Structure 1
Amino acid sequence: MIFGTDGWRGLLDSEVNKANIGKVAQAFSTYLKTKSGSSPNLKVVVGYDGRRSSKDFAILFSRILSGNSITAFLADKISTTPAVSFYVKENNLDAGVMITASHNPPEYNGIKFKDNYAGPFFTEETLKIEELIGQDLVQANDDKVYQVDVRNNYYLQLERIINFQIIKEAGLNILIDSMGGSGQQVIETILRKYEINSKTIFKIAEHDFSGRLAEPIEKNLAPLKDELLKGDYSIGIATDGDADRVGIMLENGEWLSAQETILLLADFLINKKKITGNLVKTSSVTDKLKQFFENEERQVFDVQVGFKYICEKMISEDIAFGCEESGGYGYKGHMPERDGILSGLLFIEMLARSGYTRISEYVNQKRKEFGNIYYSRIDFPYHETNRLEILPNIVSKNNHDFNEFNLVEKSEFTSSRGIINGVKFRFQGYTRWLLIRSSETEPMFRIYAEGDSESDVEKLLSLGKTLIGKN
């Protein structure tokens, strides 16, 4: 049972089943009690998405917490990860647990752990739980299990952050695709409270996400595109399986890349909302963020891929905005956590403040300001036994031939198990870099590149393949 960046996930039945959920719940309970010095007042919230068995697993997890004399606040309905995380923050709980496999296929399920700061566990803490797997289970009971509504205070928080009056006055018409995930009608419910026109498709949480992958990227959003083209909408908003990630589609059916989404959000937060503080991005995010927003008063930090690394910076530094390539964004004044619901609402407010009624008009204006983003990523399997040795070898070698690209900086990233799992090369120019990452759990390499032209990107990706011996 190997834990990943956010917790633990696996195939339903063969890996994620009641027996293994019980083992994780007991390990988690022991971890919390050890960490607190056996405090008698430990409190944890447990939420769940709409996947098969999620509710049953949440009940079991709560009962094992109770058996360990830990108070368990069990969500009374299917809930989003951001709402569960915010419940931790709002009620000063010791931790949160979300039964979900996020955007992964419906055959999967899993658990996300949230610490008392309302964000993902740090790596070393997750490893401590993993090391405790296999302890004898206590007798589960309901003595300290209480059903709660995790949504109400979360909604109030969104109303504190978003200016719904401006959105109402703009006369927008919003289309939301919840992708059959736990986002359900959350955005529409809040918008309709303010009499803002909106419609949600795939608004019922389904075990199988109605036959789609609940990941809000272009290839999965054909239904959103079709509906946008049939109606008179201002923007399309999609959230993933547990609603902590967002995808944006223009009203004309054009997908807005995560890289452009990030630039527009940063611009809106800094220049319109006047949010102060630094920015933090994962290493796979466009360097245009540095080009346009880094100055004497504001740093842009680069961290390795995984939102928990963004979370660490949001806790230790004054961070206005944290962003990752996969559509997960965190905000100052909220919590150090991804929030797809808030991200979607911020985009709607952005459009409302722009004076336009169609998001394509605003995006086209901003493209003139920021220019084109030349970026690509390739993923490919690598089944040879030396996979984990390749990146350390690349890091140790200092005479790589990068042809016309002049190396400015080389940085490496190390996993929680001490393995070099990423290396990034920055080259002369505003936005020229190459990132190579390897997976510890899958036979896979990922190569990312950004350049000043499409030709740059093609050449850099080819160089990346050469470095790992695949050209």
Structure 2
Amino acid sequence: MEKRKIEFGTDGWRGLLDDDLNDHNIQIVAQALADYMRLKSKNNRVAVGYDGRRDSDRFARLFAEVLRGNRIDVILSDRIVSTPVVSFTCVHRKCDVGVMITASHNPPQYNGIKFKASNGSPFATEETALVESLLGHSLPSFDEKGIEEIDLMADYLVHVEKLVDFDAIRKAGLRVAIDSMAGSAGTVLEELLKKHGIHAETIFGVPQTDFAGRMAEPVERNLQPLADFLRKGDFSVGLATDGDGDRLGVMTDKGNWMNVQETILYLAQYYKGKKGMEGSLVKTASVTDKMLQLFPESEVADVQVGFKYVAEAMIENDAAFGAEESGGFGFKGHLPERDGIFSGLVLLEMLANSAHKTLESFIAEKRKELGEIYYDRIDQENDSPARYKVLPALALTSPAELANFKVTGMQYYQSSRGQINGLKLRLEGNPRWLLLRVSETEPIVRIYAEGENQQEVQQLLNAGKNLFEAIDKV
């Protein structure tokens, strides 16, 4: 049985439609999950959802049929949903596993599969490895009957409405512009806000297989349509969700991008201060160290890049809030998982409870209170085999100085294969650090830096590039 093209990464399996994602391989993965369920299942139940990509709905049904062929109870979404809805369904309906057919923000020629644990979090590395080890272990079975096809969104919305102060948002008179990027979040956020008397308008609210010609990643370079919409209208804030609705990008009323690092810092400060939301904080190593100025170091956990690591630490530490620099946020009381819709609602609640009616003025005050964040990242193509030697070499030599700054601490991170694939150097002064990462799946090295001004950040990024170039010449 062919399993060469089925390789799981940190967030499931993604590949090209037809070449990788096809009926045959979907059946192979579904049967592997069924075999996994025989070993690990408690309730013998799986929730299955799908986004708006080509073939997602068909793949979801095929996946469900294989599970039913193995006498597993299946709850199948009756419509396109965002990934967090599947995560919530796992918790709400006591499912052992959630399956989401999506390739997140990848280009439209891709599709994929995400697995969710019974608590709604991303599958742990060892669980994914077990499923992968069972690929091709047995022949797929099928049964079209007995699949419970329901609206997964309804229960999710009831849950969200209990957690968000819509009255405060309405009383503040906030006017919200939304860009769903033709992804699976659709008009859900707009409809929810309007239900509570809040003005909201959505662009690209109909899911499309090609995401209307854009990359469905809510970052500044992809959000010009939202910026234009904000500048032409009368709004307080702009919110954008990605292809499968688990990430959030934010723009001000003037159509200016809100740096994700600022979004994280302000949300952490607000949410940790809410009644009943006490607890520690979790951030990936690439998130601003200004968190350590705002909160005691003992209350902030630094984990390697990837939301699965954030989720694991949130659960272990009963954390109030977790975040990654790509726009994924997790909240205590909701899910140990990213959720673009819920994140947007918390941001609106934060703005509503401030003295400001627009995000632009809110940010201006916060920058006076907390200072500005100076941070940048570069992704550099590097196909040299020597790139894998850089981080282990640094971990062994432990440099005393970098870019004329004393190194005060070093933390390294390991891949699922036990290789050092990330290393963070903390430097004298705070915040001041350099993070180096080597991609396991692409010929790319990622270099991140934070400093006390933009010139300093560039200096640190250049130092990071030089480290890779120096090793390459050895």
The aligned counterpart of 1:19 is 24
Deviation readout 1:118-166 (Å, 9 max, x if unpaired): 1101111111111111223232112331101111111011111110011
Conserved? CA contact 1:280–1:313, under 8 Å: yes
Deviation readout 1:173-220 (Å, 9 max, x if unpaired): 111000000000111111111111110100000000000001000000
Equivalent residue in structure 1 for 2:164, among 162, 168, 175:
162
Pairing 1:34–2:36 present: no
CA–CA separation in structure 2 for the residues paired with 1:207 and 1:445: 30
The aligned counterpart of 2:56 is 54
Pairing 1:429–2:429 present: yes
Equivalent residue in structure 1 for 2:82, among 76, 80, 83:
80
CA–CA separation in structure 2 for the residues paired with 1:13 and 1:339: 29
Conserved? CA contact 2:307–2:328, under 8 Å: yes
The aligned counterpart of 2:241 is 239
The aligned counterpart of 2:3 is none
1:259-338 matched pairs, under 5 angstroms: 259-272=261-274, 275-294=277-296, 299-338=299-338
Conserved? CA contact 1:70–1:144, under 8 Å: no
Tell me by how many angstroms 1:273 deviates: 5.2
What letter is aligned with 1:32?
M
The aligned counterpart of 1:390 is 390
CA–CA separation in structure 2 for the residues paired with 1:166 and 1:114: 33
Deviation readout 1:239-273 (Å, 9 max, x if unpaired): 00011000000010110011000011011112355
Deviation readout 1:40-85 (Å, 9 max, x if unpaired): x500000000000000000010000001111111100000111110
CA–CA separation in structure 1 for the residues paired with 2:14 and 2:70: 23
Tell me by how many angstroms 1:346 deviates: 0.8
CA–CA separation in structure 2 for the residues paired with 1:399 and 1:80: 45
The aligned counterpart of 1:111 is 113
Conserved? CA contact 1:388–1:440, under 8 Å: no
Secondary structure (helix, strand or coil) at the match of 2:321 reads: strand
CA–CA separation in structure 2 for the residues paired with 1:409 and 1:330: 27
1:49-448 matched pairs, under 5 angstroms: 49-272=51-274, 275-294=277-296, 299-399=299-399, 401-448=401-448
What letter is aligned with 2:16?
L
Deviation readout 1:313-343 (Å, 9 max, x if unpaired): 1111120000000000000011111011010
Conserved? CA contact 2:27–2:140, under 8 Å: no
TM-score normalized by the length of structure 1: 0.97
Conserved? CA contact 2:66–2:141, under 8 Å: yes
Deviates most, 98-107 or 268-277: 268-277
Deviation readout 1:349-406 (Å, 9 max, x if unpaired): 1111113221111111111011111101000111112232222122112346424211
Conserved? CA contact 1:168–1:196, under 8 Å: yes
CA–CA separation in structure 1 for the residues paired with 2:444 and 2:403: 26
CA–CA separation in structure 1 for the residues paired with 2:274 and 2:403: 42
Gap change, CA 1:391 and 1:242, over 3 Å in 2: same
What letter is aligned with 2:267?
L
What letter is aligned with 1:326?
S
What letter is aligned with 1:10?
G
Conserved? CA contact 2:31–2:141, under 8 Å: no
The aligned counterpart of 2:12 is 7
Conserved? CA contact 1:63–1:142, under 8 Å: yes
Deviates most, 187-196 or 352-361: 352-361
Conserved? CA contact 2:286–2:325, under 8 Å: yes
Conserved? CA contact 2:398–2:410, under 8 Å: no
Deviation readout 1:393-423 (Å, 9 max, x if unpaired): 2211234642421111111100001111001
Secondary structure (helix, strand or coil) at the match of 1:354 reads: coil
TM-score normalized by the length of structure 2: 0.96
Gap change, CA 1:162 and 1:134, over 3 Å in 2: same
Conserved? CA contact 2:28–2:136, under 8 Å: yes
The aligned counterpart of 1:453 is 453
CA–CA separation in structure 2 for the residues paired with 1:398 and 1:334: 40
What letter is aligned with 1:64?
V
CA–CA separation in structure 1 for the residues paired with 2:276 and 2:118: 28
Secondary structure (helix, strand or coil) at the match of 2:94 reads: coil
Gap change, CA 1:274 and 1:361, over 3 Å in 2: farther
Conserved? CA contact 1:323–1:330, under 8 Å: yes
Conserved? CA contact 2:432–2:452, under 8 Å: yes
Conserved? CA contact 1:170–1:355, under 8 Å: no
